[in-house]
């Protein structure tokens, strides 16, 4: 075995390429797929189809915003898929009591799940993977309990709440507008505030952040609370869009959310990432799904295969471009 030292200029070029790929790789691939789709399918590059892609991607994007904070802080949240479907059922159930109950009930429950998980992780030092896995099971179990093992489907009774998921402004659905507003607010929070810098510091090194005076426990509780609330909001909006609380949704959604965040350039090891890349990752998964639907004769589950391949390629590229030295 021979140890080969990479020349400094080659190493610097590789680091620049790696940084460029992490920051804009998802956006570049998204642009390529949009061009390929437009040249291949006549029905792809239409306002209506782009509107469908944006709307269907908005729910994933809302949850991914919260997941980005969690992963940058060095954690993970496996409960978001179950909280998403639980919140949809609660929103549909609460809609019989009016708009405010339909929105407040799922947000209250999802917020409690996020708060409890954050407190356990921050105060006991338990692994986020274990705590949020318990949250996944707990939220799904609660959903099954209130829906009679999934047999009871609650319909959205309040027309104003239904409009929250089905209405639009200038052909832009309300869920897309909500996602856009949340994105801008989250970008300001992450990039322009001390809280955002604390999230990066904890992900870069929790012990070092603590020595520097960063409120580690309070920040971790806040990011898990945020993740739970955004998953609950996405579930409520989806129930409004479908006019019912569908109990079979959300299975495996947490993996799609994590894939969108990682494809968007956020490192699973924490300490690095940006929300712009996360949104590009969510849109990329939405475009892949739409292109598979355009083909027609491919099973919808094929989207999972393609998404997995993209995720594997991103991880391999990060590994290759981020390597400082190579042993041959």
Q: Give the per-residue pLDDT at 298.
A: 64
285-295: pLDDT as tens digits = 899 888 888 87
Q: What is the pLDDT of residue 113?
A: 96
pLDDT score recorded for residue 300: 63
pLDDT at 326: 41
Q: Where are the domains of the chain?
A: 46-287
Enumerate residue ranges in the chain where pLDDT < 50: 1, 323-328
**pLDDT tens readout for residues 112-149:** 999 999 999 999 989 999 999 999 999 999 999 998 87
pLDDT, position 58? 95
Predicted pLDDT at 130 = 95
Full 3-state SS string of the chain: CCEECCCHHHHHHHHHHHHHHHHHHHHHHHHHHHHHHHHHCCCCCCHHHHHHHHHHHHHHHHHHHHHHHHHHCCCCCCCHHHHHHHHHHHHHHHHHHCHHHHHHHHHHHHHHHHHHHHHHHHHHCCCHHHHHHHHHHHHHHHHHHHCCCCCCCEECCCHHHHHHHHCEECCEEHHHHHHHHHHHHHHHHHHHCHHHHHHHHHHHCHHHHHHCCCCHHHHHHHHHHHHHHHHHHHHHHHHHHHCEECCCCCCCHHHHHHHHHHHCCCCCCCCCCCHHHHHHHHHHHHHHHHHHHHHCCCCCCHHHHHHHHHHHHHHHHHHHHHCCCEEC
pTM: 0.89
């Amino acid at each position: 075995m021979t140890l080969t030292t990479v020349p400094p200029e080659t190493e610097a070029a590789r680091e620049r390429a790696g940084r460029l790929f992490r920051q804009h790789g998802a956006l570049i691939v998204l642009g390529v797929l949009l061009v390929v789709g437009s040249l291949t399918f006549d029905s792809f590059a239409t306002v209506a189809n782009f509107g469908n892609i944006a709307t269907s991607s908005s729910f994933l994007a809302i949850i991914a915003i919260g997941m980005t904070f969690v992963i940058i802080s060095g954690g993970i949240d496996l409960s978001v898929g179950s909280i998403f479907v639980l919140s949809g059922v609660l929103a549909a159930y609460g809609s019989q009591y009016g708009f405010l109950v339909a929105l407040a009930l799922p947000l209250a429950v999802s917020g409690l799940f996020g708060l409890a998980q954050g407190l356990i992780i921050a105060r006991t030092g338990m692994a986020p993977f274990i705590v949020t896995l318990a949250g996944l099971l707990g939220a799904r179990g609660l959903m099954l309990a209130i829906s009679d093992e999934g047999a009871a489907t609650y319909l959205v009774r309040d027309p104003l709440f239904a409009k929250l998921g089905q209405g639009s402004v200038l052909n832009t659905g309300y869920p897309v507008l909500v996602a856009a507003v949340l994105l801008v607010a989250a970008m300001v929070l992450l990039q322009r505030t001390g809280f955002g810098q604390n999230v990066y510091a904890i992900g870069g090194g929790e012990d070092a952040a603590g020595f520097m005076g960063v409120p580690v426990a309070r920040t971790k509780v806040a990011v898990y609370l945020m993740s739970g609330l955004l998953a609950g909001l996405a579930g409520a909006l989806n129930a409004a869009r479908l006019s019912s609380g569908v109990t079979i949704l959300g299975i495996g959604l947490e993996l799609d959310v994590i894939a969108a965040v990682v494809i968007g350039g956020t490192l699973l090891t924490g300490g690095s990432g940006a929300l712009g890349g996360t949104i590009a990752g969510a849109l990329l998964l939405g475009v892949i799904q739409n292109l598979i639907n355009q083909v027609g004769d491919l099973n919808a589950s094929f989207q999972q295969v393609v998404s997995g391949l993209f995720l594997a390629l991103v991880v391999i590229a990060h590994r290759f471009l981020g390597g400082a030295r190579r042993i041959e």
